[in-house]
Each structure stands twice: as C-alpha cells, then as structure tokens.
Homo-oligomer: A and B are copies of this chain.
C-alpha cells in the first residue's frame, strides 16, 4: 500500500510537505504543490484514515446504529442521515449489534445516532461526552451530551382515535405492541385518554398484547374472533400487527371495513397497498434531522433540546364513516 512516505520520496520532499499539500495548508509553494499532487494521482495515493484519525481525533465521521431488519422504514432513515452527512462532507458508518459499542469508545467517529432499542441507555450515558455527542431516536434521555428526537405518538394517536369516534365508532378493540417501549405506552395512553374524554367505555378484555410483529396481530385477531360480538373497530399499535389482523379476518370471511374497521400506525410500505388507515411518520426527514442535530453538536453549536416530530393521520379505506351508510 502506498503511503505518505512513498509520495514524499518520489516527489523529493518531506512527509510534512506532502501532508500540508493534501490537507490544503497554504504554506506550500505553488510549484511543489503541483508536483506533489501530480505524484499523488500518479501513485494512486489516498491518505490512510486510520493513521489520520489516530493523530488528529476529529475526522468528520458519524456513526449510525440499528439492528432490527424487519422494518423497512429504517432504509428511509438511513437515506436521510446519509444525505445530510454527505452534503456536509461527513462520512457515515452504519453498524449493527454490538460493534457499535466499540466504535463509540474509539475516536473513529465523532458522534453517533442510535436507533437500536436493544442498546442500553446506561451505555449511552457513559459514552456521551463533550467531544462525543449522541442523538437518540425514539427514546428520551436526560444527559447534557445526548439529544433526543422522538415522534409525537401521543398527538397523532389522539387525532386518529378522535377521528374514528367522529366517524361514529363506539366499540373499540386494541392490540398493543411491546409493552415496555415508550412508543407503545404513549400510543395506548392517547387511545385511552380520547375514549375517556368521549365517555366511551373500554373493557380491558378488548385489549390484546402483541409484539409489533405481523404474527402477533394475526393471533390476536384469531382470539378476538372467538368472542360473541366483534368490536366495531380494531386499533393496532403498529401496521404490521394491523396487517396480520386483517389477514386473519379475511381468512375467516370477516370483511374489513364492513364487518370491522382496522387502523394501524407507521404507514409502512404495505399500508398504502392495503388501503390501511394509519399514521404516517416522516422517516427520511427524521434521519435528516438526526444527522443535522448530531453534526451541529459536534461542531460545537450545542443544542440538546428534545425534538418532537409531528406524525399525521392517513385516512384510507379500512376505516369508513359509519354514519354514511
């Protein structure tokens, strides 16, 4: 591998001169500069990031961590991050699982964005420091070097449920997601609050515990169908479960939305194709904002205020107006 020394030798100058040239320092003669540059190209030389990083620390590189491969909206988030990073001349390293913890400790990167829910918060608290800001998605952390970017699940779910109430529905069913997640709690709380506000009773036996996966929605619907009378509408804490439920209904000859209406949350790819009423989250923008928030903090423009992203209800055909019969 050709290194800075080889270039220096070939150009008949010292390594520092080569370094100064490739880093655009202006204390180099025009002639020397041209010669060195020519030789770099000729020898196909590229500075070694590792050597460079080790010395200087700062290297315009950020880290993104995720590990759930089932949710295709992750690609959109990555797209947003990638675009912002590129536009600002930062490199982006993405990693999955535990490698991330390692990279946070090295000065390979100058900061990171965390989406992986399996990443423990206390690890993040320990890794974050003045010279290593962190942005977390979908979780709230109170730390001077960590910025949170979260979706306003509560307001979006409130709008969805109130809209459904306004469309004449009174008898609700609910399939919850992974119970410990902040997402799920917020979504369920909004659901309950709106019903209460409208003096609508929600008996606990119409709550079904799922895990955000399609299968759990399918199973919950199967159980639901055992009961004497179906709810008028089934709210699911995410789209995957809603889709699972719809499949179960169809298999049993129950029509959506004629026999039961269904709503989800997330607006995944399938949601549009299936005509599922849901809540749409601007994922590309979320990634973009995360990268922006991180890079601003890296560059010293400190701002760790939590950013709440607005999500919007998408009315589609799995929920129709009961009053317009």
A→B interface (CB under 8 Å): 1, 44, 46, 48-51, 53-54, 67, 69-72, 74-76, 78-79, 82, 86, 91-99, 102-103, 105-108, 126, 243, 269-270, 273-274
Contacts and interface: CB of A to CB of B under 8 A. Distances in A.
A214 B19 CA distance: 48
Contacts of A126: 44
Contact of A95 (B91, B103, B269): B91
The 3 closest A-B CB pairs, nearest first, are: A72-B72, A69-B79, A94-B94
A46 B92 CA distance: 22
Given A50-B53, A54-B54, 18 more contacts: A44-B126, A49-B106, A49-B108, A50-B50, A50-B54, A50-B107, A67-B82, A69-B82, A70-B75, A71-B75, A72-B75, A74-B75, A91-B95, A91-B99, A92-B96, A93-B93, A270-B273, A273-B274
Contacts of A71: 75
Given A54-B51, A69-B79, A92-B96, A46 B102 contact: yes
Nearest to A73: B72
Contacts of A67: 82
A72 B273 CA distance: 15
A80 to B, nearest CB: 9
A50 B108 contact: yes
Q: How many copies of the shown chain assemble into the complex?
A: 2
Nearest to A59: B50
A46 B105 contact: yes
A114 to B, nearest CB: 15
A96 B82 contact: yes
27 contacts: A1-B105, A1-B107, A46-B102, A46-B105, A46-B106, A48-B106, A49-B102, A49-B103, A49-B106, A50-B50, A50-B53, A50-B106, A51-B54, A67-B82, A69-B76, A70-B75, A72-B269, A82-B97, A86-B97, A91-B102, A94-B94, A94-B95, A243-B273, A269-B270, A270-B270, A273-B273, A273-B274
A91 B103 CA distance: 10
A290 to B, nearest CB: 15
A48 B105 contact: yes
Contacts of A82: 67, 69, 96-97
Nearest to A48: B106
